[in-house]
Structure 1
Amino acid sequence: MRLTLRAWNAPYECLQSEEDSLYNMDRYNKTRYSRRKKKEGLLELASREAHENQEVYFATILNDDDSPYCAMESNVGYFGFDFLQDNYADFLTFQYRSDSEHKGKLFLKAIFLFECYPGTTEKMRRTNFTYTHEGGCSSVIYQGEEYNGTSEVIQTKHPPISAEELEKLWVDYPKFGEYEQLIRLDRIPLLARERILEYTDKEFLAFREYLQRDIERYQHPME
């Protein structure tokens, strides 16, 4: 996989140009990089400074064939990753948050699963798994439509996750351009993992392969 600092344009299912990515960063951060005449290297410079100042910047992590693997957004004390299916629908989101009591650390606070109707990119259901620093776990399912009276919200408080699972939710604050540890699928606690696999085994078989790859890479590294 490789990293580009060009943002992912979800509505158009493509990478933004460097110029558009830079312009959008300027809008969020109230900077003026896009107005400079010399454009070469500007996106990396602006993104690096945004990282150091904990301001808004974006990146897209690509597969070896240059298809998008996940899209990243960084803001003050926040890193979000939207993982994409082959049809470019975002099916999984990681949300990391910083905490004043844990300097230099991020916590995987929430994992969202987006389920689409079979064979489409139309969202059918969203399940939010959230975690606490003490190991608490809860979920909220949003499904149905308000316009036809089928809208439903199901909230559940689950048993605490294990100490091993909780440890994996913590990660060191990344250096600029180094996000491999934040996209590790083996960080997903078992309850959420099983629910995600239940969906992806029907709609996105590659997820199981990616998950197994990360398990072997980080939990059972080769000697």
Structure 2
Amino acid sequence: MKRPVFFCKSWFRAKKRPTEVWTEAQAKAAHGRKQYYTALLDSTERPYCFLEVTEKAVGVSFLDDHLRESLSYAFQEVEPDRLFLTMATYREFEKKSDRVVSGTSYIFGRNGEVQIRREHFNPHSVEVANTTADVVHNYTDFPKFGEYDDLIRVERG
């Protein structure tokens, strides 16, 4: 089943709401001009996730029940109309607050190298590990307007 898509200028993270809700025509025009816009999946008030689409990158942020960014993906254009997932970040929060207690980032190289960075905030500590992975599933096509299904897959491989 296709998820409903809504559009806006941006997602205001601190206030957990869209700024300047746009019509589909406004967002489609921005997409065609390769200008920044945001797509909200499922709802404008309680989206499952939002995508920040730019000329050469797409950011995907998955929201939890408290509208906090629990998981985010950063896709960068690596060749014309081809994106590569360069980073995935998981965040853990203090109970129902917006305070991040820890985060783990996976930074992917196109050669299969992966840096895993775990950060705890109280007390502050950082652990870094390096490994390798098959990154074939990190590639995707730059989305056609309104077609975001491949980018919003939580499980990539």
Q: TM-score range by the shorter chain?
A: 0.7 to 0.9
Which secondary structure state, in structure 2, belongs to the residue aligned with residue 134 of structure 1? coil
RMSD of the alignment, in Å?
A: 2.1
- 1:43-84, CA deviations, whole angstroms, 9 ceiling, x for partnerless residues? 433322322232211111116xx7310011112211001100
- 1:134-182, CA deviations, whole angstroms, 9 ceiling, x for partnerless residues? 111111122225xxxx322221112x113xxx22111111101110111
Most deviating of 79-88 and 116-125: 116-125
Does residue 114 in structure 1 map to residue 91 in structure 2?
A: yes
Residue 6 of structure 2 contacts residue 24 of structure 2 at CA under 8 Å; is this kept in 1? Answer: no
Cα distance between partner residues in 1 of 2:136 and 2:152: 15
Match of 1:48 in 2: 28
Cα distance between partner residues in 2 of 1:16 and 1:96: 23
Q: Which runs of 5+ in 2 are unaligned?
A: none
Does residue 154 in structure 1 map to residue 156 in structure 2?
A: no
Give 1:93's aligned amino acid. S
Cα distance between partner residues in 1 of 2:15 and 2:80: 38
1:180 to 149, 152, 155: 149
TM-score, with structure 2 as normaliser: 0.86
Give 1:114's aligned amino acid. R
Give 1:56's aligned amino acid. Y
Give 2:16's aligned amino acid. E
Cα distance between partner residues in 2 of 1:52 and 1:183: 21
Does residue 9 in structure 1 map to residue 12 in structure 2?
A: yes
Which secondary structure state, in structure 2, belongs to the residue aligned with residue 118 of structure 1? coil
- 1:91-137, CA deviations, whole angstroms, 9 ceiling, x for partnerless residues? 000110001xx322110111001111234331101211011111111
Which secondary structure state, in structure 1, belongs to the residue aligned with residue 143 of structure 2? coil
Give 1:135's aligned amino acid. G
Q: Which runs of 5+ in 1 are unaligned?
A: 22-42, 190-223
Match of 2:108 in 1: 131
1:142 to 97, 119, 122: 119
Residue 88 of structure 2 contacts residue 106 of structure 2 at CA under 8 Å; is this kept in 1? Answer: yes
Which secondary structure state, in structure 1, belongs to the residue aligned with residue 150 of structure 2? helix
Which secondary structure state, in structure 1, belongs to the residue aligned with residue 80 of structure 2? strand
Which secondary structure state, in structure 2, belongs to the residue aligned with residue 50 of structure 1? helix
**Greater strand content:** 2
Identical pairs, percent: 22
Does residue 168 in structure 1 map to residue 137 in structure 2?
A: yes
Match of 1:192 in 2: none
2:49 to 50, 58, 70: 70
Aligned residues: 154
Give 1:152's aligned amino acid. S
